[in-house]
Amino acid sequence: MSDTLHRTGAPPATRSARSFSFGALARRPEAGSFLGMVIVFIFFAIAGGANFVTLGGTASWLNVAAEIGIVALPVGLLMIAGELDISIGSVIPAASMTVAIISGYFGLPLILGVAAALALGLLVGFVNGILVIRTGVPSLIVTLGSLFAVAGLTLGLSVIITGSTGVPIQTGPIGKALLGQFIAGIFQVTILWWLVAIVVVGFLLHISRWGNWIFALGGDKVSARNEGIPIDRLIIQLFMSSGFAAAFIGISQAILYNSAQVSTGQSFIFNSIISVVIGGVLLTGGFGSVVGIVFGTITFAIVNQGIFYTGFDANWASLIIGVLLLLAVLLNNTFRKMALNYSPKKGKS
């Protein structure tokens, strides 16, 4: 299996002066998601009126995209590797409550609360990885169990410790500046963290050897193991990265809104998966890109917020998102088939 296939998730191709041909572009995992993003943006720019394209309108979907995007990146890596993590829906509120209880309820330094919350996310990811490896049970089932287990622990311990399902937290200027500040009054600082995550994950997936291992794992686990790739360690690392990202978002939400609730985070399960699928990642693994995940996240965020700028009933938002998901999958499949049937010499199969 070539480095080109591992690093891009695209079918092998000869790199030459034809690199910028239609076939080369269509082979990119993000080709369909980019086209979908452009179409969706144009639609809401027209249907949403002038307010949608203002700074305030842009901030509304960028803020949503940043929070979902930080979680969607490691979830996307897991899906490329052929795994899935839905326990993030409980890790987010668990991390929020952890930092709020330690640094809000007990008044300990914020750094301790943040460290404990991040450690919790890593621990849940580690346990998920171990269970997937040792039991052989599909990761969907394993993380579904983790989802309910962590949710139950969060609710039970929160009530025992604080007597409530919500805990306020007030942080100093440094904590606010790093995780809970609005730039220019409208853009969440989380957007900057999302950009950092994009660069880091992009390097790991498309440049480093670690990324080659992920694509190999998603393509054929048995062959990857036979090639000497440390499959077990890789799976654990991927689940830990997912737990870490979910915990980070939980912390940022607690600091941003000055409180934590045990009921938050469930929407991130499907929102992140939808964003990844729209971004061109195959549910069966072995195909995808960081750029595509970013495009998919932006597309989902635009639809999620754009509906409020139109004259449409907001209750139709779920229907639009569902149709968008189906069309995105069909569009991505179409691009992949066109790429596989494309001949660089003749322009067709």
Asked if 88 and 242 touch (Cβ cutoff 8 Å), the reply is yes
Residue 136: inside a domain: yes
Phi-psi region of 182 (alpha: psi -120 to 50; beta: other; left: phi over 0): beta
pLDDT for res 120:
98
The CATH number covering residue 117 comes to: 1.10.3470
pLDDT of residue 9: 52
160 within a domain of the structure (yes/no): yes
What pLDDT score was predicted for residue 329?
72
Domain count, the chain: 1
316 lies in some domain: yes
Residue 226's domain comprises 20-341
Question: Higher-confidence residue: 129 or 20?
Answer: 129
Q: Is residue 349 part of a domain?
A: no
Q: According to the model, what pLDDT value does residue 303 have?
A: 87
Lowest-pLDDT range, 207-216, 329-338, 340-349?
340-349
Average pLDDT, the chain: 86
Q: Render pLDDT for 228-263 as a digit per residue (tens, 0 to 9).
A: 999 999 999 999 999 999 999 999 999 999 999 998
Distance separating alpha carbons of residues 329 and 323, to the nearest angstrom = 10
Between β-strands 187-188 and 259-261, what pairing exists: parallel, antiparallel or unpaired? unpaired
What is the spatial distance between Cα 280 and Cα 294, in angstroms, rounded to a whole number? 10
* 153 is a domain residue: yes
Q: Flag whether 49 is in a domain.
A: yes
**Does residue 13 sit within a domain?**
no
* Residue 303 near residue 66 (C-beta atoms within 8 A): no
Higher pLDDT, 259 or 32: 259
Task: Supply the pLDDT for residue 106.
Answer: 95
pLDDT at position 141 is 97
**Distance separating alpha carbons of residues 277 and 79, to the nearest angstrom:** 9
What distance in Å separates the CA atoms of residue 55 and residue 51, rounded to the nearest whole number?
A: 8
- pLDDT at res. 26: 56
Q: For 212, what's the count of Cα atoms within 13 Å in the CB-facing half-sphere? A: 12
Phi, psi of 69 (to 5 degrees): -65, -40
The model's pLDDT over 46-95, given as tens digits with 9 standing for 90+, comes to 988 888 999 999 999 999 999 999 999 999 999 999 999 999 999 999 99
Confidence of residue 294 (pLDDT cuts 50, 70, 90): very high
Q: Is residue 257 part of a domain?
A: yes
Tokens of 239: 């689940």
Specify the pLDDT at position 191: 96
CB contact at 8 A, 238 and 214: yes
